[in-house]
Structure 1
Amino acid sequence: MRHPIRTLAPVTAALAAGLLLAGCGGVEPLPEVTQGARPTTETPAAATSALTLGGPGTACVLPVSFGVAEKWTPKAVEDPENPEFAALTRQGPATVRCEVDAKPAGHVGFLRVWTAGKGPARTALEGFVKAEQNTSAVTYKESGSGAGPVTEVTYTVFNKVMEESKEERAFAVSTPKGTVIVHLGGLDTAEHRAMIPAYELARSTLKAL
């Protein structure tokens, strides 16, 4: 039997990371990860693109394409429409389609791509954030991209198990095929901030297909 969801890490990391997604086979242990650069007062270096994701023949066929940072590994989420796994594959109006794993780059986290129905990007993104529990400090802003106007959000999520808050962010763009949301989480705020260059690379190279 194929399983569309796998455990990403030990319980503590799994709870902090959020969704447990994608792949086939049984439960796999988290590979040993060399911790990435921790946040400092300096701005993290810009990420270098290793490949373009989203077009035909790529790991995830999407309504948009964007650059993927070096060593980050993309993989399509299998059977995301299966109602049995709706609690993990759906968030508000959006369904997860693809995850880009940061572990090979030395971080604990994912860049995940979600799709929603046609409509304003802001509306879909607001519904996505409202479906997340224990959020605060939610801030939206508008910008542009190669795929058109983009709505971006930054916010914090309080994890009751770990008794701490962590930063998260996402951007959304409307396309003729529906709204696309690209979300960056992370094990904790330190990991999240260290992975921002990969997120910024995706946003700055975004193109409609």
Structure 2
Amino acid sequence: MRHPVRPPAAATLAAALLLAGCADAEPMPEIAQGPRPTAAPATKAPAAAPTRTVGGPGSACALPVSFAVAAQWAPEAVEAPEDSEFAALTRQGPATVRCEVDAKPAGHVGFLRVWTAGKGSARAALEGFVAAERSASAVAYRESRSGAGPVTEVTYTVRDETAEESKEERAFAVPTPGGTVFVHLGGLDTEEHRAMLPAYELAMTTLKPL
């Protein structure tokens, strides 16, 4: 005759306590869930800085190229003076200045200047332009690209005897059917020059022959 198997006393006690606990526990309050967002909140993209075109139809400077500058920059055509002594101030090496884009309205002290030279090698014309800057040093050339295609670019420093310090300058040159065009960036000092680099880069990437 087989006897039924009885559970251990400890197991029986644990089961009894569990049942007692379940009987005495108060029901948990229901938690109402709010509506879930269906999409991430939209973020407003920063507005692009307004620009103007220099060199195109109706612009301040008649040039064989056009390029964009920030709207605050102020372009103005440069006319060669009739007096030969003052006319020399508008020339540097093989190049003649045609346009000045003033940065002061944008809060900087300096200019983007556009120069033109005769037909021929853009590199040779740019070398002549830099060589005419007597205090130029640390001169470095490199091939780069603009909105019009390959360009020759130069970076160098010039000595400012008044401030007794050197400052950075740079320019790029592109050939056009009418001759070589230079876009040069100077500045009151190196700090101002570097602060204006975005304008120089904008001119180079948007430049187009006309």
Question: Kindly tell me: are residues 81 and 66 of structure 1, through their superposed partners in 2, closer, same or farther at Cα, counting changes over 3 Å?
Answer: farther
- 1:175 corresponding residue in structure 2: 176
- 2:144 corresponding residue in structure 1: 143
Q: Deviations over 1:65-100 (max 9, x none)?
A: 100123000000123575231331000000000000
Task: Please tell me whether the aligned partners of residues 146 and 208 of structure 1 are also in contact (alpha carbons under 8 angstroms).
Answer: no
- 1:77 corresponding residue in structure 2: 78
Question: Kindly tell me: are residues 56 and 70 of structure 1, through their superposed partners in 2, closer, same or farther at Cα, counting changes over 3 Å?
Answer: closer
Higher Cα Rg: structure 1 or 2?
2
1:1-209 paired onto structure 2 within 5 Å: 48-79=49-80, 83-209=84-210
- Alpha-carbon separation, structure 1, partners of 2:144 and 2:111: 23
Question: Kindly tell me: are residues 201 and 82 of structure 1, through their superposed partners in 2, closer, same or farther at Cα, counting changes over 3 Å?
Answer: farther
Task: Please tell me whether the aligned partners of residues 109 and 185 of structure 1 are also in contact (alpha carbons under 8 angstroms).
Answer: yes
Q: Which structure's residues are more often helix, by fraction?
A: 2
Which shows bigger deviation, 164-173 or 135-144?
Answer: 135-144
3-state SS in 2 of match to 1:203: helix
Listed as ranges, the gaps of 5+ residues in structure 2 are 1-47
Task: Please tell me whether the aligned partners of residues 64 and 147 of structure 1 are also in contact (alpha carbons under 8 angstroms).
Answer: no
Off by >6 Å, runs of 4+ in structure 1 = none
Question: Kindly tell me: are residues 94 and 49 of structure 1, through their superposed partners in 2, closer, same or farther at Cα, counting changes over 3 Å?
Answer: farther
Task: Please tell me whether the aligned partners of residues 143 and 151 of structure 1 are also in contact (alpha carbons under 8 angstroms).
Answer: yes
Listed as ranges, the gaps of 5+ residues in structure 1 are 1-46
Q: Percent identity?
A: 77
Task: Please tell me whether the aligned partners of residues 145 and 205 of structure 2 are also in contact (alpha carbons under 8 angstroms).
Answer: no
Q: Deviations over 1:153-197 (max 9, x none)?
A: 000001122110000000000000110000000000000000000
Task: Please tell me whether the aligned partners of residues 100 and 112 of structure 2 are also in contact (alpha carbons under 8 angstroms).
Answer: yes
Question: Kindly tell me: are residues 144 and 164 of structure 1, through their superposed partners in 2, closer, same or farther at Cα, counting changes over 3 Å?
Answer: same
- Alpha-carbon separation, structure 2, partners of 1:49 and 1:108: 20
- 2:142 is aligned with what amino acid? K
3-state SS in 1 of match to 2:146: coil
Aligned residues: 163
Task: Please tell me whether the aligned partners of residues 170 and 183 of structure 1 are also in contact (alpha carbons under 8 angstroms).
Answer: yes
TM-score in terms of structure 1 length = 0.74
CA-atom RMSD, angstroms? Answer: 1.5
- Alpha-carbon separation, structure 1, partners of 2:199 and 2:87: 27
**RCO higher in structure (CA 8 A, sep ≥6):** 1
